[in-house]
Amino acid sequence: MVRVCVVSKNEEVKKITVSGHAGSARKGEDLVCAGVSSVVFGTLNALDKLTSESVDLKVGQHIVIEVLNLLDEKCQLILQTMLIQLATIEEQYSSYIEIKQEVSS
């Protein structure tokens, strides 16, 4: 299962962690994993090109997006767009992707 953990502070996205694999089909045929990967890596590319000073991006075992400037409206818009796209996938494939929301103090 793909797990997306979203940490917010004052209604702004502070951190997003994406981990796991959908496992909805055999390797190379997993459309859920392909969809999630497209959304996430497209977001990483947009953040890197448009708001690189406002975020810290880590790609490894887990993908971690940490927002350094919560007031960067462009960064927040890009992240909200990503979350809407992932929520759309979750609506259809909830057995393979889970989005959890946490509030930070």
Report the side by side order of strands in the sheet with 63-67: 55-59, 63-67, 12-19, 2-9, 97-103
Q: Respond yes or no: is residue 33 known to be catalytic.
A: yes
Q: Respond yes or no: is residue 5 known to be catalytic.
A: no
Q: How many CB atoms lie within 10 A of CB 51?
A: 20
Cα separation, 73 vs 37, whole angstroms: 24
Annotated catalytic residues are 21, 33
